[in-house]
Chains A and B, each alone.
Chain A
Amino acid sequence: MVKINVDGKPVEVEEGQTVLQAALKLGIYCPTFCWHEKLEPIGACRICLVEIEKSPKLAVSCITKAMEGMNVHVSSPKAIDGRKGVMEMLLVNHPLDCPTCDKGGECDLQDVAYYVKNDRSRFGEPKRRFLTSARSTFDEKQIGPLMYLTMNRCIACFKCVRMLKEVAGEYDLGAFGRGVFTEIDVVKDQPITNEFSGNTVEICPVGCLTSKPFRYAVRTWLTQKKSSVCGFCSDGCNLTLWVGGDKIFRATSRKNDAVDEGWICDKGRYGYDIVNHSDRIKTPLIKKNGKLEPATWEETFDLISNKIKETKDKFGPDAFAGIGSARCSNEDNYLFQKFFRTVVGTNNIDHRVAFKRLLPSPSSSSIENLYTMTNSIEELEKTKMIVVIGCDITSEHPIIGLRIKKAVNNYATPLVLINSKKTKLNAWAKTEILPKFGTEVALINSLCNAALNQKADQGFKDWVKTYSPQKVSEITGVEANAISKLAEEISSAERCIFLLGRDVLSHPQNQELIDAVYNLAHLTGALNKPHSGVNLLWEYNNSQGALDMGVLPDRLPGLTPLNQADYLQNVEKVWQSKISTKPGFNIHQILDGIDKGEVKFLYVMEENLVSNYPDRKYAQAVLAKAAFSVVQEIFLSETAQRATVVLPAASFAEKEGTFTSVERRVQKFQRGVRPQNQSKPDWQIISMLALWMDYENFNYDSTEKISTEIFSLVPSYLGLDYKKLGNNGAQWNGFVSKKEAMTYSLKKTDLKPIQSEQGYPFILTTGNLVHHCGTLSGYSENLNLVVNESFCEMNQQDAEKLGIKTNDEIWLESASGKIKTKAKLSSNLQPGMVFVPINFKELEVNLLMDKDNLVDWIKISKV
């Protein structure tokens, strides 16, 4: 620690910290432009000048290290004079077009000018102009689908370029030219589209970089700021929603160092416009003569409650099924399952619609069955090795991707990528392993084989020996010595974090693959060591919460088994109801139940079954057969269109509540705007319906009341306090302390080779595009400006053989169906594989899928 004085006040800072940080620690304001907490300081703008006793020149506080005994003056006349001088210089060429500048009211240049209080400039020359016309405000250039550049306002702090380079590793914005004609720009004909570009708009201190959706939409001082959490992927970035009336004008980051460090991806930043979309469902709808007609809430509640009573009387509670949502809040999901378990009396509930092969339900008592992230995002900085398996991190988890880049850049953490295709993150990888699709289990077994030690008994040893590197090399296409080398690296890593993503979760051998990774982690010690472990990355904003809330056929809230007597008792007491201990139908059994006529009543809360279920024809057919179906939704989705009753639901921005992020972080979000049209929050709809049926136990007048119930009932959430969740949220972590003592028994996880299908030579894989998330973001007009079209990515050589070029129209055909799209040639995919994004409802990719085939084989032909 170093002790210094700032403006006469003593302060202690860590060695290596700067004078500026010392001042900030004391709460002493010192203006800055080019400094940014998360970027390397460059000391360029010079506005942070301070006086340091015994030093002849003014010092640049953002880069001057604090030294024991320094006497620093931020507020001395000399320091003030220095900053006045710099400010005058900065304004020399600035257009001072504040009245027509979008940044007005939140511009650092304005704010510092105000602070410096110099109302006169001695500059009387013509100002520099980048474009020929003499106007300034509208001398603007669109540099990307969502970004504008008004170069005349730039103060050359380089934060935009530095942020992209240092944090995201992106280079689509750069500085050109020299001196006063230094220009920020994109390379000709290469618009900026990287997924973190919006952060540059946010950190630009002036109105030089602006976003297309926000510019000239509103003056910032006419908006209110609401603390929110992103409703797309599961990383859980904290957002600020800027609202006015019923409209959301923009979303910006709300720095949470544990999660996002103040950076958000562009889908979180620009996808908010789904909320105000004109296609939102406006009123409740009831199907009459095959057509959905507007109805009142009263009519629909009457109809639904009567139908529930009638069906229950006639067919019993197990004739009901409910599908919850990984998008809805904990409160929504909690009430949803409570409704089914108490009002209806069945465990026929699930939310895992997109998975053909369901993993066993998680348990919260042992790490291996947790099926969650067992580490935190922050721990990625503390570990010594990161192994990503089956995940396009950048697209699926952009912010985890940033942390990985940080670990690689700042701590030289070796990154291993084991993916059957190349992803954007591969550029950061020390080791990239590209096994053939479907052979991953063999690869991991072989790593276990090479990493064998006394932790394995003879039986396991004998079994795993059959996965010799040579043999597995033939199976996987990965070189034998690459396997041995990797095993050696993982074994010798002091700490290691394994991250398993979408392609593992939806893998035909998902469970074996996860178990195999657990074997490997156990053998190499990663299971027990700090900042090490196996992590499953669920996809959506509240995937984890939907699990935690017990929207599962065999788990009560807190992932508690139905038959755990003490807990059951407790729950029954709070819910004032008996609860069935008979496991219910899972998602597939629910659909089969409807198909067979056993399930008469289906209730879907914000889940687009038709487009997400891995067999579209079946989902459509089943929905047509359902005797009665209620769909609670934001948009009139393909699923809602087929419902008997449609209830307009409020999106994440129109309600408050909590989400549980991928790292088990329970985070509170505020309501941004009132529910649009006649929509209501999901929890409220359920609560009102239950009250309509006289279930007084559902009398919740606020989300807080539900959260409080959750936090006093759900074991892993015990002790959380809704009021104290504050800005950073809180993780549920009970198991972490037990980690070191945890025992694990190795499992034999044999490879089951995938069977090819005659006449269908390509394996279909799907996933999210980096600018989209599920089908919801497809409603975002902002995001659609970046990409709005689906395609089929395929291997270059495969395409050449078929005479297909990029942008050619092609047919994709499986035994189940046929769809048309455009081809996109790529060298990221291995031969025999294609990739189709799931984000655009126009391309019904699950028409090609068959729920009973774990691998979807297709053929391709030119249109």
Chain B
Amino acid sequence: MTKIVFKNIDKPEQYKIENYIKNGGYQGLAKTLKEYKPADIIEMVKKSGLRGRGGAGFPTGLKWGFIPKDSKKPKYLCVNADESEPGTFKDREIMEKDPHISIEGAIIASYAIGANVCFYYIRGEFVLCAQRIQKAIEEAYDKGYLGKNILGSGYNLDMYLYRGAGAYICGEETALLESLEGKRGLARVKPPFPAVEGLYKSPTVVNNVETLANVPDIVLKGADWFLSIGTAKSPGTKIFSLSGHINKPGNYELDMGTPLRHLIYDLGGGIKDNRKLKAIIPGGPSVPILTEEHLDVKLDFESLVQAGTMLGSGGVIVMDETTCMVKTALILMNFFKHESCGKCTPCREGTVWLYDILYRLEHGEGKKEDIDLLLKVCENIGGRTICALGDAAIVPVQSTIKYFREEYIAHVENRGCLTPFKFQLN
């Protein structure tokens, strides 16, 4: 297994700039400024095939290339460190343990798109991350990696840390921009896309922390090197946040294309108490679940799509046989209804409706028709919302019904759930 993002993650006090530099840090930036024009970097990242690690998997170089070259407006880079999806905690580890790798990547990206200002948007609850990033930014200024005339190149970049106020939706790129502008975090309608009209109506790139953390090594080692890792269409590595009924939860950086089974059983040490595996969410709650039969699926963008799900943010949640699927859907729906920004009707109203039905089913007040009603309501949400939260919200319902319809029926017939755990309403 290759390590790119996590190559130094466990080195002592790697978060300090002197250690980061000692371990080879900021050489990618030095090389960038010395040897490449911005367009070269974009070309290189395009060629490397790097795709966004924030959930949507959009080709990173392509996104940078959308920034209009001739615009007189300022350009911005925003680092998306709002990581709030249940079961995803990779950016957090990067920021806490090796903050500079993301900052270096952000500086290179800013240079590539011609930005002189970069905002690092961190989830409000991530206190240690914010401290580490703040310190790291200050250190980078001190060492001349940020500020005026970086490393004598004539390139200027200011970086600001911005702490969110506690909303999952602010990880959605346009809501993030609204929030940065000091407004309520509501998603914007696209188009216009941020590359055309982003922060303060200016061309803007929003990139995930992990995405950017890949950039220094791509510059240092070249696109071909990156292409040699992972699969042809999903090159490189991906950090998977493993959680749930698993013996060794944690973050694992794997080459793209590694089988799911290897992650769960070899690295994760298998299911807790040797219970039977029931379901896996492979990429955060926004993606459809998999079951035991899918254990040999490869973890990369294409293979997961083929298996009817998605790579998403890489949050792998493992559930054993004691897990109730209706309750799982209920818990996830509780999350989505709570986090829906409320701007568009189907998501705002639909998530609560789904939640209400699931709640009844789980608490023994379900009717048989409710199962089809759930699917109908999902249909009424999917594809009709402003942002992907609405599309995501229906996924747990649809996919649990797809694989575990009989469990829903059992909830109706048994007048409730058979597992003892009672879900706390909030």
Question: Is A125 touching B189 in the complex (CB atoms < 8 A)?
Answer: no
Given contacts A125-B357, A156-B343, A179-B338, contact A85 B384 (CB under 8 A): yes
**Which of B337, B348, B380 has the most chain A CB within a 10 Å cutoff?**
B348
Interface contact B344-A45, CB-CB below 8 Å:
yes
Residue of B nearest to A93 (CB): B349
**Beta-carbon contact of B349 and A85 below 8 Å:** no
Nearest CB in chain B to that of A81: its residue: B380
CA distance A90 to B349 in the complex (A): 7
Q: Is B302 an interface residue (CB 8 A)?
A: no
The answer to whether B386 and A122 touch across the interface, beta carbons within 8 angstroms, is no
A182 contacts the other chain (Cβ, under 8 Å)? yes
Q: B383 touching A89 by the CB < 8 A rule? A: no
Chain B residues contacting A741 (CB-CB under 8 Å) are: none
Interface set, chain A 87-135, CB cutoff 8 A to B: 88-90, 92-93, 122-123, 125-126, 128
Contact, CB under 8 Å: B344 / A125: no
Closest beta carbon of chain B to A16's beta carbon, Å:
12
Q: Does B350 contact A (CB under 8 A)?
A: yes
Given A89-B346, A122-B376, does the pair A57, B384 have CB atoms closer than 8 Å?
Answer: yes
Q: Does B363 contact A (CB under 8 A)?
A: no
Knowing A42-B189, A58-B383, A175-B184 touch, does A180 contact B349 (C-beta < 8 A)?
yes
| B9 part of interface (Cβ distance < 8 Å) | no
Assuming the contacts A89-B350, A179-B351, A180-B352, asked whether A44 and B345 have C-beta atoms less than 8 A apart, the reply is yes
Contact with B along A148-160 (1 / 0, CB 8 A): 0000000110100
Cβ contacts under 8 Å, B384 to chain A? 46, 49, 57-58, 82, 85-86
Kindly list chain A residues whose C-beta atoms are within 8 Å of the C-beta of B232.
none
Residue among B349, B351, B377 with the highest chain A CB neighbour number at 10 A: B349
Smallest Cβ-Cβ distance to B169: which chain A residue = A178
Contact A180 B356 (CB under 8 A): no
CB-based contact B352/A46 at 8 Å = no
B377 nearest in chain A by CB position: A122
B373 an interface residue at 8 Å Cβ cutoff? yes
Q: Flag whether A43 is at the interface (Cβ < 8 A).
A: yes
Chain B minimum-CB-distance residue to A177: B342
Q: Which residue of B lies closest to A33 (CB)?
A: B345
B73 nearest CB across to chain A (Å): 14
B345 engages A89 (CB within 8 Å): yes
Within 8 A of A (CB), among B324-367: 337-346, 348-353, 356-357, 360
The docked-state distance in angstroms from the alpha carbon of A180 to that of B357 is: 16
Compute how far the CA of A544 lies from the CA of B235 in the bound complex, rounded to whole angstroms: 75
Could you tell me if B353 and A92 are in contact, using CB atoms closer than 8 angstroms? Answer: yes
Q: Does B167 touch A at the CB level, under 8 Å?
A: yes
Q: A123: which of B189, B340, B353 is its contact (CB, 8 Å)?
A: B353
B340 and A179 contact, CB distance less than 8 A: yes
Cβ of A63 within 8 Å of any chain B Cβ, yes or no, is: yes
Cβ contacts under 8 Å, B376 to chain A: 122
- A47 CB-CB contact with B under 8 Å: yes
Smallest CB separation, A168 vs chain B (Å): 18
Chain B positions within 8 Å of A45 at CB level: 344-345
**Bound complex: CA of A126 vs CA of B379, how far in Å?**
22
Is the Cβ of A57 less than 8 Å from the Cβ of B383?
yes
Number of interface residues of A (CB under 8 A): 36
Could you say which residues of chain A place their CB within 8 Å of the CB of B338?
Answer: 178-179
A60 interface residue per 8 A CB criterion: yes
Give, as a whole number of angstroms, the nearest-CB distance from B389 to chain A: 10
B164 to chain A, nearest CB (A): 13
A58-B383, A89-B380, A122-B373 given as contacts; is B345 within 8 A of A182 (CB)?
Answer: no
Task: State how many angstroms separate the Cβ of A607 from the closest Cβ of chain B.
Answer: 50
Q: Are A47 and B340 within 8 A (Cβ)?
A: no
**Which residue of chain A has its CB nearest to the CB of B384?**
A46
What's the nearest-Cβ distance from chain B to residue A545, in Å?
44
**Contact assessment for A43 and B189 in the assembled complex, using a CB-CB cutoff below 8 Å:** yes
A299 to B386 alpha-carbon distance, docked (Å): 73
Q: Beta-carbon contacts of B152-172 to A below 8 Å, as 1s and 0s?
A: 000000000000000101000
B352 near A93: Cβ-Cβ < 8 Å: yes
B100 to chain A, nearest CB (A): 34
Interface string of B87-120 (1 = CB under 8 A from A): 0000000000000000000000000000000000
How far in angstroms is the closest Cβ of chain B from A81?
9
Q: Closest residue of chain A to B385, judged by CB?
A: A46
Question: Chain A's nearest CB lies how many Å from the CB of B297?
Answer: 26
- Besides A63-B189, A177-B342, 17 more A-B contacts (Cβ < 8 Å) are A41-B189, A45-B344, A46-B345, A46-B384, A56-B383, A57-B383, A60-B189, A85-B379, A89-B348, A90-B349, A92-B353, A123-B353, A155-B345, A178-B342, A179-B338, A180-B340, A180-B342
A/B interface sample: 30 pairs, CB < 8 A: A44-B344, A44-B345, A46-B344, A58-B383, A58-B384, A82-B384, A85-B346, A85-B379, A85-B384, A89-B346, A89-B348, A89-B380, A93-B352, A122-B377, A125-B353, A125-B360, A126-B356, A155-B345, A156-B345, A156-B348, A158-B343, A178-B169, A178-B338, A179-B338, A179-B341, A179-B351, A180-B340, A180-B342, A182-B342, A182-B348
